[in-house]
Amino acid sequence: MAGFGVTAEGLRLGDEAAGLVEELKAEFPAASLDAVEAPFHEALRLWHEAIRGLIAGKRIEPGLPLDIRATDFQARVWQYLQTIPEGETRSYSEVAAEIGQPTASRAVASACAGNPVALAIPCHRVIRGTGELGGYRWGMERKRKLLEAEACTS
């Protein structure tokens, strides 16, 4: 994991800062983007410390402040994902069944793909029923490394 970017709308992972900035410019073309340096606002400081800790091999503590937009279905999926313990995975169909929508595995996959806050909502812990990794918005190699790191620390 080479880098991360936190915005009011999410937490993004990337290999270089320039790529993250370009992604933000494309998503928010009318916005004025400013880099924020320490000292940070308290909520941003908590995020910054948590993500830097994760990169250093520590786990993210639950309870980071999240203020994200979601459909009711996405909210149910994302809330459930936050209950999956570090070092464990669930299949898309298991998540669908756990939220009371057993036939909605594809919709679960879409909710995972739409997750705007990497790591805080651990969509990387959701895999295919076959045991294959499935997809990941921030790249399959990153998903594989996150799961390997969690398996070592759990």
Catalytic residue ranges: 123
The Cα–Cα gap between 133 and 141 comes to 10
CB 118 within 8 A of CB 11: yes
Q: Which residues pair with 127 in a beta bridge?
A: 91
Q: Which value, to the nearest 10 degrees, does the dihedral of the CA atoms of residues 82, 87, 93, 99 take?
A: -20
Closest CA to 51 of 7, 18, 21: 7
Both structure tokens of 82? 């936050």
